[in-house]
Amino acid sequence: MNRSILKKIINNAGWLLGERVLKIISELFIGIWIARYLGPKQFGLLSFVVAIVAIVNAIAALGLNPIVVRDLVKEPVGKFQILGTAFTLQLIAGGIGLLTVIGMVLLLRPGDKLSLIVSIVLGVTVVFKSSWVIKYWFEAQVQSKYVVWVESLILVLVSIANIGMILLNAPLLAFVWVSFAEALLVALTLFAVYIYSSNGVLGWKFDRMRAKALLGSSWPLIISGFAVILNMKIDIIVVGLMMDDKSVGIYSAASRISSAWFFIPMIIAQSIGPKIIEMKNQVNPQYMPVIQKLLDLMVLISLPGAILIVLVADEAIPLLFGSDYADAAKVLIIHIWSGIFVFLSVAAGRYMIAEEIQHLIMGRTILGLVINIVLNFVLIPLYGLTGAAIASLAGFAVGGVFANIITRRTRAIFLMQLKALFVPARLIVGGINKILLNRN
């Protein structure tokens, strides 16, 4: 990997990381302020519907992100056909997703008018996510800075609006409409930036054969993406069904912090993903060593973060959210360890896509999801919110790492993940060896 390409990847990752840091800051200050303002019960109701929207969003995305990026890297001359087809597919899926969100809320919370209104407003945002094909384009070009500019500017405006709603003692629905406005603004601005920086969308065209090819490649990722987000949100849904809105609010407070942390590996993988595919296609001898270094990096980032959260959670949660949310600390202390397996899973996923064995991602993710769901129903009656956190941790560990030992084609990446888990010990041993060699 030459220096110019490496510099481009690092710059791209820097832009994405900068945007994510800004979002984390917004969630830690504005999001937590909203949670304190609404209280566990109303925040729980909002979190319950948001969890359903997130699950539907994962399906409506159709798993196209890495597939579209891969095709744009391999076939740049077909960009208009690729983008036009992907946009049409996601627009149709978004419309179906809107109806699904409303239907699920009607089924799970019959007679709850407030939850229904929230589901209708937030459900429309699923349709707006079709604009994310533009993000795929900039990701393939390793030019994510344009997306960062758009989303960061809108994030600042939305944060100001949310602060205004709090100061004006606005009702829950006011914050829901702000989320709607954010999704709409992001969609419109992404199109504006794309039109300004390229040849516009008039050249986009839908191709039936291309659609079959995209869906043929992405269907395992549709299922695995659905399983991943369900793995992250099913505990909130089950807590909402088996307990109450206040419990959902407390659990969601912990989940909000850990989920913000889980986006870091996605940023790193998005930046290096196109290069991994390119190295695989060129039969570059550094292909596997780069993947091992990526896995090692994931552990070196996630492990210290988990330790830090464990040390400060008991004091930080009441300080940030208020005393009503104190029980969220116990949940967070368990849930944050899932990050190590999430980080390793995301990195391994990029390897599987480069190897074109993405269908195996589906199997491992579904296995983790099944374990998560079963343990949720077993452990929540016994241990309450702590049981939900343990179930989530087990699901991520199996689905992200240990399931890779089952199939022959994923055992290599499992051994690399296992090696990465011991990277702190490897670094210590390596340091000791260097000291001994220098003395000799």
Q: Is a pLDDT exceeding 60 seen at residue 16?
A: yes
Distance from C-alpha of 375 to C-alpha of 395, rounded to nearest angstrom: 9
When pLDDT is averaged across residues 51-56 and rounded to a whole number, the result is: 92
CA distance readout (Å), 191 to 130, 180, 184, 250: 11, 17, 11, 38
Distance from C-alpha of 114 to C-alpha of 118, rounded to nearest angstrom: 6
Q: Is a pLDDT exceeding 80 seen at residue 46?
A: yes
Q: Is a pLDDT exceeding 90 seen at residue 228?
A: no
Residues 147-189 pLDDT 10s:
777 788 888 899 999 999 999 999 999 999 999 999 999 999 8
Q: Which domain holds residue 148?
A: 3-439
Q: What percent of the chain has pLDDT over 70?
A: 91
Q: Say how many domains are in the chain.
A: 1
When pLDDT is averaged across residues 296-324 and rounded to a whole number, the result is: 90
**Which segment of 45-49, 110-114, 264-268, 401-405 scores lowest on mean pLDDT?**
264-268
pLDDT of residue 199: 63
Token pair 């260097």 is at which residue? Answer: 434
Distance from C-alpha of 72 to C-alpha of 84, rounded to nearest angstrom: 12
CB 44 within 8 A of CB 247: yes
Residues 331-376 pLDDT 10s:
999 999 998 999 999 888 888 888 888 778 778 888 888 999 999 9
Task: Give the residue among 56, 72, 60, 177 at the shortest CA–CA distance from 105.
Answer: 56
CB 397 within 8 A of CB 341: yes
Distance from C-alpha of 417 to C-alpha of 402, rounded to nearest angstrom: 9
Residues 74-125 pLDDT 10s:
877 778 888 889 999 999 999 999 999 999 999 999 888 999 999 999 999 9
**Which segment of 2-6, 46-50, 89-93, 215-219 scores lowest on mean pLDDT?**
2-6
